[in-house]
Amino acid sequence: MILYVVMETAEKYQSGNWQHQRLILEETSGDFCLLIHYKQLTLKMLAELQPRAIVYSGASTPFEDYDVRRTKAYQQVVLTSDIPQLGICGGHQLAAEIFGSTLGIMRRTRSNEPDHNPKYHPGQYKEWGVYPVTVLQREPLFSGCRKIVRVQQFHRSEIKKLGRDLIVLASSAACRVQAFRHSSRPFFGVQFHPEEATEAYPDGFAILRNFFRWAATRQK
């Protein structure tokens, strides 16, 4: 079983359409995927369910507007669970912060460039759509991938300073930390959205399959 943890407000968890992402995780993992809210996540739950991997969703809500940073049970799972974990976009940033990283917006939009989504945090630069990302270390998340992957991006903030136990795996011109791994914990983070891959841009699917294959080896 895969556990898909929604890193959004309770309202957006209840009203949002999370089934597309859940189905993609089921298809790429070949396993059942259970959808939960981050406030439901506890070490006790993990002991009872024994999922083979945990995936944390993205989030459009500014982190300061809700209490994910003060949810101790979620933080305990990130810091202590031996279950393989993958953070996506906001889930990647929030976990990196728990591991000692600093977050912030990428930058302000320059006068000579378009705002790719002016209704979402106007005036702030965003990666919005398909962008090239340079792979710095292939194993295991990018195993078999090309040096440059093309993946879906929907973000305006990033990891500014990486925690000392985190290692950069991929980068782009606008965002230095496009992927990381923890040096000793079974945790990966990706700034982009592999679950939003398409037939035209399938690299995200390969990255998810790599993560789930690696997670399976941890059970042996």
Q: Is the pLDDT assigned to residue 184 strictly greater than 90?
A: yes
The pLDDT assigned to 115 comes to: 87
C-alpha span between 14 and 105 (Å, rounded): 27
Query: Residue 216 phi/psi, 5° resolution?
Result: -65, -35
Dihedral sign for Cα atoms in the order 178, 112, 102, 43: negative
Q: What is the pTM assigned to this prediction? A: 0.96
Q: Is the pLDDT assigned to residue 152 strictly greater than 90?
A: yes
Percent of the chain with pLDDT over 70: 98
Q: Is the pLDDT assigned to residue 74 strictly greater than 90?
A: yes
Which residues belong to the active site?
89, 193, 195
C-alpha span between 136 and 142 (Å, rounded): 9
- pLDDT tens for 14-62 read 988 899 999 999 999 999 999 999 999 999 999 999 999 999 999 888 7
C-alpha span between 163 and 171 (Å, rounded): 16
The pLDDT assigned to 220 comes to: 59
Average pLDDT of the segment spanning 132-147: 95
DSSP 37-72: EGGG--HHHHHHH--SEEEE----S-GGGSSGGG-H
Confirm or reject CATH 3.40.50.880 for domain 2-217, answering yes or no. yes
Q: SS3 for 14?
A: helix
Banded pLDDT at 114 (limits 50, 70, 90): confident
C-alpha span between 59 and 38 (Å, rounded): 11
